[in-house]
Structure 1
């Protein structure tokens, strides 16, 4: 099956560009409720899989052994802004582990917080690894590695941490991963089908109906994300704004190259979305449209509208166009 139209770019009376991709919505039983494009398309979910990567941290007992809070768990699932809030909390986490910035394998990344980035530039201060948007996930990996008595190279695909992540990933997606790519933060990112990723998000959404340790871990991670949307992304970011704006508890997570997932616990539904050309503007628009379609968000809410039908302005501030979700996402 081919990709389906997900979003259009309008300029004046013309459709100037189109973004196609795949969407799958699954229910608590893993069945497909609705799909656009190809449910069997094999994808790399990138950072949208972070709550899956954090499962072994909780289900192993490592999180409780270290006294991790909901804030820690939200950071373990985060692609954060590298704002002072995030940097301070991850730094404190590392300190509690008896580790420093150099223990992280994610690489340094400039803060995406404009004020902090400007201060660091003016002070000629280079970015650290803790500023990396994945540093919370990596602090979680380090916590799990210590709990398992494993070595420091936790991003090695053969390391005990990544073997635990792969096992959890295959469990919740319901299929053997065909392989992995190395993510921007140096950790393996396991591939699955669109159907598999939506099934995993529905598994998280319905975890409260089950009593096994893995499901209990999923409940804690979802609750942490919903309780701390500011830690999952940051001020002005789509995940944070739309989680706050939703009319019911929803956990949202973006990933690089046009990926987005949603976990809707009250409905037992999971959504996986991939824009084929990797455009974030389209994935944000499409996920907003799907939340509205399902009744989990109000199209008129300012922080939904800003992604659902955002204006496009030129350098002089004139409105020259807009992004629109494909009509099929609403009907």
Structure 2
């Protein structure tokens, strides 16, 4: 079995201080691996990087159209948002349109990741709600589908019709039977798959606009919503949002916990999956940015790319003491 390979380095002064290992897989429209670093068959949890897959049944079932979901809500269904006012307001409105409220969510409470709102809530002695959870948009989508199906309230149960539909969609687009699942931070099942299969699923989304079957139409619709509303997918200062905006061609980028990052390239019909073996976010952000730069999707000198691919390390006095970069061996010329 191929071992994880270096995908990110941290230098302090003239010395390599830390090195992150991981896997990178790029698939073409036929699902074939065209570039790989590490082990394409390594089995991982995609975590939140696969939210667009979990949103597929929302669209294919007819629930999204029955509820008249806007592009912004479809983007939120695929989001790991910051819990900023625009995210919280829209999810609250979505729940109200369903005749539901915060207590109907099953994602759990989380303080807003938006610094201004979090501090405002602390000053006003307001406790965070479930809508502030970065997964509340996905869960609003789950509730929409559950209501449409007339299913029970515990929509995160692995045998609930919503999660069975998510599993079926996941295995369809990855082209692989999942070996099992774990429970994600938001309490929904997260299905394991291989790096190759995850990249293949992103290539499915990247080529979806060229097909006319219901699953492909749904995938194309979700990818288009994410491209159109990048701030709803993540938020101010976040890698997903900034990299999509910095791209020189259509790009969908989505992070996941524990060092996962995916990219969808509709113009090329290609999908990318990145996994930092140690779960480090900075390594995944560095590696996805470097991969997209190497492919010509991003400019290395764009400030929003530099911030993730080659960020400067500062100490507490603001002195420049080092830097992060992809290793020179990542894409040898």
Aligned position for 2:146: 145
Q: Structure 1 residue 120 and structure 2 residue 124: aligned?
A: no
Distance 1:221 1:325 in 2: 31
Q: 1:157 touches 1:163 (CA, 8 Å); kept in 2?
A: yes
Partner of 1:328: helix, strand, or coil? coil
Query: Are 2:220 and 1:215 aligned?
Result: no
The answer (yes or no) to whether the contact 1:8–1:17 under 8 Å persists in 2 is yes
Q: Is this contact kept in 2: 1:293–1:329, CA < 8 A?
A: no
Is 1:39 aligned with 2:48? no
Distance 1:183 1:324 in 2: 30
Aligned match of 1:174: 175
Pair 1:77-2:78 in alignment? yes
Question: Pairwise mapping of residues 192-231 of structure 1 onto structure 2 (< 5 A)?
Answer: 192-231=193-232
Q: Paired residue for 1:287? A: 288
Structure 1 stretches of 4+ moved >4 Å: none
**1:326: how far off?**
1.8
1:330 Cα deviation from its structure 2 partner = 3.4
CA offset at residue 276 of structure 1? 0.3
Q: Kindly provide the CA deviation profile for residues 273-316 of structure 1, in whole angstroms up to 9, marking residues without a partner as x.
A: 00000000111011100110111111111111111100000000
| TM-score normalised by L of structure 2 | 0.99
Distance in 1 (alpha carbons) for counterparts of 2:297 and 2:124: 44
What CA distance in whole angstroms lies between the structure 2 residues aligned with 1:192 and 1:113? 31
- The equivalent residue for 2:28 is 27
SS in 2 for 1:168: helix
Equivalent residue, structure 1, for 2:10: 9
Aligned to 1:237: 238
Deviation of 1:327 after TM superposition, in Å, equals 1.8
> Displacement of 1:191 after TM fit?
0.2
After superposition, residues 252-331 of structure 1 pair within 5 angstroms as: 252-331=253-332
- Cα separation, 2, equivalents of 1:175 and 1:237: 31
Shift of residue 328, structure 1, vs aligned partner: 3.1
Task: State the superposition RMSD in angstroms.
Answer: 0.6
1:135 and 2:136 are equivalent in the alignment: yes
Residue pair 2:27, 2:272 contacting (<8 A) in 1 also = yes
Asked if the contact 2:6/2:330 (under 8 Å) is kept, the reply is: no
Are the equivalent residues in 1 in contact too, given 2:223–2:252 (CA < 8 A)? Answer: yes
Q: Aligned residue for 1:108?
A: 109
Shift of 1:123: 1.0
CA distance in 1, matches of 2:65, 2:331: 42
CA contact (8 A) 1:46 1:189 kept: yes
| Structure 1 portions without partners, runs of 5+ | none
Residue aligned with 2:185, SS: coil
Kept in 2, the 8 Å contact 1:239–1:253? The answer is yes
3-state SS of paired residue (2:272): strand
Alpha-carbon displacement from aligned partner over 1:73-96 (angstroms, at most 9, x marks no partner):
000000000000000000000000
Where 1:206 maps in the other structure, the secondary structure is: helix
Who is 2:57 aligned against? 56
1:329 Cα deviation after fit: 3.1
Q: Deviations over 1:39-93 (max 9, x none)?
A: 0000000000100000000011110000001000000000000000000000000
